[in-house]
Structure 1
Amino acid sequence: MKRQATSSCVSDAAASQPVSGPCEADIRAQLHRILESCDFKAPDRVRRFLSYVVEQTLAGRADRIKAYSVAVEVFGRDTSIDVLNDPVVRIEAGRLRRALELYYFLEGKTDPVLIEIPKGSYVPSFSWRLDDQTLAQPLSAPTPQPRAQTRASFFDWLRRPWLVGSATALVFGTLLAFIGMIDQSRPAASSTSPLGPSLLVKAFTNLSPTAEAGAFATGLSEEVLSQLATFRELTVVRSEASNALASRRSVARRHFDARHILEGMIRAGEGKLRITSRLVDRDTSAIIWSAIYEADLRSGNLIDLESGVAQKIAVAVAQAIRAPSRPVSNAR
């Protein structure tokens, strides 16, 4: 049985006119569904970000959703913030987009309402999922006259055996040609491997008891994912998503059966951080690449440190995967 639309805004009027976009009640219900889902992998500040932009848009204040207002009202930045030099909103927007993509790939794959944050803007868009919208839209009623003519023409056609024979031959010929095309393309169609090299990114492990080091480990893990996602030739998945997919259908598991694994550790002491990262071949356990980076916690903004180290790691990992025969490095 096909899934019926669950929108609270679809009324009897839908039988006579096309369905418009989701209404306020539908959007808020979908927002609640996302925030309560275990598959929406996002920290509290990203959840606040999503709630803020949705509520501002529903209140008719979408024009106020700018990097400055988000930084001040959501992330608690000082009103003197320079958004051009503080990338916090851009970074968190990237994390929010990825969290929404993962949610709609997993638990939300059948949700009727889509909430998306288009790139280049922080204003969310709301739309019906295509299948649900198609089911909800009314079908035009056929007029009686064409229908009667079609029935009469069909029976007249059946009275001509030579036409039936020709049509049958044409159908069988087309069917055989189609089967031949399927056989020729079967190897490509049955392939479930990703388009490019696959990479599983594990969360960086914090080996220090300080909360500051823990926050840096979490932020660095997210930033590394963000930087790696810019390399379109790589298929990148985080470890949490991989674990969630372990209980899903086999096709999804094979698609994310990563050949390479990126892992790392963080240690803190006397105001300094030591970040160790390595790229491992899953099949052979060989270390393809490794590096050690050091950062001074007192030298500047933690987000800047995260972004700088993550960029170095992402570039080095992408190069190592492209050329796996290169020797292991220990850059600082």
Structure 2
Amino acid sequence: MQFGYSEICLAHDPGSRHPETPDRLRAIRERLKKKHGVEYVEADPCDLDRMAAVHERAYVESVRDFCADGGGNWDPDTTAVEETWDAICHSAGLACWAVEAALEGATGRRTPFSIGRPPGHHAVYDDAMGFCFVNNVAVAAQHALDSDAYDVDRVAIVDWDVHHGNGTQDIFYERDDVFFVSLHEQGLYPGTGAVDETGEGAGEGRTMNVPMPAGTDDREYLAAVEGPITQALTDYDPDLLLISAGFDAHRHDPISRIRLSTEAYALMTDRFRTLADETDAALAFILEGGYGLDVLADSVAIVHETFDGREPVEPESDCGEKAESALEDVADAHGLDLDVDG
């Protein structure tokens, strides 16, 4: 794969006790040293105008000024230093690079994966939260839709971070040109992402939330991907598929109760690659969360290995009753008629 990366993203340092540490990127880079076919690309930083296409301009300016004044605690979870603004610009710029590379034909072993930080999927239209200041995937999706260089009318975003992508939902909730799917742990921070949150106005039906019960495993996540998510996105027929790739649903991540193995990320990658091929959609990955350094690095590496020819190992377990019931609720909310355990 091609990995979008910038050393400038390491300069955002919210403190030694904060889980969203620069060591996340260092761990990924160290793990990828052992892998064949890894390529790194540094992109141009994103400018304020492009961020303001999905965020309130006054809000983005306030983040810039907050950092210029030395930063501090924006809220109890979201912390900046002076260098954070440059990291924000480069993280969003790397996400835009990933979209451009995908739309210009980068597939297979050259599929783009942006590993910028700070992450973005909790950043709403006019505020920061959950370690996120600017919504990288939303900026990148809007860039694809706005650019005269690409023929993009519909974008699908799948967020498999264990936390609900409330910021991405907030930005696109009333729009028809972006279909947002969030696969997350039920009841976890930030407490949004219920099944009945399906969009409003022109966006009705264009948000799909798949809240899974604590203890959900590989087979059950795969049932969600193969069932309601694939059916809905196949019907939507996107021109571009973006994966908000958080890895904190791993069973060894310190802040969630979902029980995914590293192999689950290979399986989901394989399924979304197939979906992109079948819908003729460009495909790109954008890093979100993941706070156990070893499992984060292993999980990013297995996404790379999947594009490098490794065949994922299929799970042997069946879908449990709680997870099956959750997926039936999702199917009902979107008028889908399918066997969620099939």
TM-score bucket (shorter structure): under 0.3
TM-score (norm 2): 0.26
Q: Which has the higher contact order (CA 8 A, sep 6+)?
A: 2
TM-score (norm 1): 0.26
Which one has the bigger helix percentage? 1
The structure with the larger Rg is 1
